[in-house]
Structures are given as C-alpha cells and as structure tokens.
Amino acid sequence: MDKPSKQPPPYAITSVDNALRIAAMLQLEGTLSVSEVARRLGVAASTAHRLLSMLVYRDFAVQDEGRAYRVGPVLELAAHSRSATSRLRAAALPHLRRLVDLLDESANLTVRTGDAVRFVASVESSQALRVGNREGMVFPAHRTTAGLLLLAELTPEELAALYDQARFEDRPGELPDLASLRADLAKVRRNGFALNRERSERGVVAIGVPVHTPDGEVSAGIAVSMPSVRYDKEHLPRLVALLRSVAADIEHDLAS
C-alpha cells in the first residue's frame, strides 16, 4: 500500500524550512553567495547570513576564502552529481520562469535517483491559491509526474529489480503494486507525457514531459502543477504542446 500523500505540517517553521532549502541548494548546486541565497528565499541578506552561519556551525556548509558558501562535510558524500544537476538546473530555470509567466501555474524540474525523485528547480505561480515551492523535496518516484516519466524509460527487468520486495523490507508501505505501475508506465510511454491527478498530493494536478540529454537519454522531467479546481481536461493538449516546446528549448540549451 502506498504512503499517504505528503502534506505540509500544520505549524510550519519558516526558519527551519529555509535552512533545509539552503542545504538542498548547496548539495545540488555547489557554491552560493549570501546575496544569491537571500534572493532565492526571498529574505533579507542578514537573515540569509544567519541561516548560513548555523549551517556552517552544524557542518552542513563551509565558507571558502572568497566568503561564499559550499556544501559541508555532512552533505559532502551525497554531492557527487552536483555539477551535472547544476548545469541542468541552470539551463531549465529561464524556461520554467517563462512557462510560469505564460500559465501562471507552478512549474518544476525533477530528477530520479533509484526509487525516489528530487525537485531540483521550482518556480511558483503568483496566484493566491497555488502549488508551493518544491525545490529540494524528495518523493517516491512512482507517485510523481516526472517520476513516472523517468520510470517509463526503464526496461521491464530494471523496473522489477528497482521494486524488488527485498529492497523494501524496512519500508513495506512504500512498495507500489507492480502490475498497476506497469500499466501506468505503458500509458505514459504511449502518450509521451504524464498526467498526475492527486497521486502525490491531494488537490493537486500535474502534467509533465521528459527532458533529454544531448545523446537522447531522458535525464529529467518538467511539469506544471496546479490546484485541481483549476484543471480543465479540455486544456490538456495545449498544456502538453507548451511543455514539449519548453522541454525542447531546455534540450537545445543543454546541447549548446
């Protein structure tokens, strides 16, 4: 049985959330300045500096000779793919912002590691009722739009190995029904896009398409997500066409 949809805590602590977002940014992207962190979080530079200082104190970050910050010892071991992810994120962000400008719905870039996906870039809608920033968050791959896109690239043998029951002995509630998942992935392959209706979060609908590397492999997924009350299935062809155009622009920038 799948886990319940991930929901924000009822009493979210903004400073904790911001510190965790900074840690994710450092791990995924490398060196950042105080001003860049402040801009990304939408906080004052003094606030960003205090948060970074605490991360340095707890070894999640270190400050280099140029006074910029990079990933610290606690996160160092998991930062081996930072450069590739940073390039992908840098190529995608301008196009995600353009997508949000056109639709005024939130957009995300997501990559897969094993049976999980991580949101590596997120641009929020300006509407009051919107899907919030997901950058740095991790979800089970089979429950997300981009996760379905990326899992659809696996061979039947690779999928079976990834969801082998033995790998989930310590977390049996996270093991999906493989027959149902195979049917979902077959549909994704036929359509060339993924439609996620409240699969990962209640009240949220997301549509996504794959992003390919210059050698043709699927490296990530981009998706636009919205409150389900604003989703109209009549608009699906237009949304998919727009997403494919944005994905092609990202792929062009990656190739060049």
Condensed to tens digits (0 to 9), the pLDDT of residues 219-239 reads 999 999 999 999 999 999 999
Angle (CA) 109-112-116 rounded to 5° is: 115
Is 0.85 topped by the overall pTM? no
CATH domain 14-76 topology: Arc Repressor Mutant, subunit A (1.10.10)
**Which CATH code is given to the segment(s) 82-255?**
3.30.450.40
Q: Domain-by-domain residue ranges, the chain? A: 14-76, 82-255
Instruction: Give percent of the chain with pLDDT exceeding 90.
Output: 64
Instruction: Give percent of the chain with pLDDT exceeding 70.
Output: 91
> At 79, is the pLDDT very low, low, confident or very high (cuts 50, 70, 90)?
very low
pLDDT-wise least confident of 35-39, 66-70, 103-107, 143-147 = 66-70
Mean pLDDT, to the nearest integer, of 32-37?
94
On the question of pLDDT at 80 being above 60, the answer is no
Tens digit of each residue's pLDDT (9 = 90 or more) over 130-168: 998 888 888 899 999 999 999 999 999 999 999 998 888
How much is the pLDDT for 2?
Answer: 47
Measured CA to CA, the distance from residue 75 to residue 26 in angstroms comes to: 9
How much is the pLDDT for 58?
Answer: 80
* Sign of CA pseudo-dihedral 98, 189, 148, 233: positive
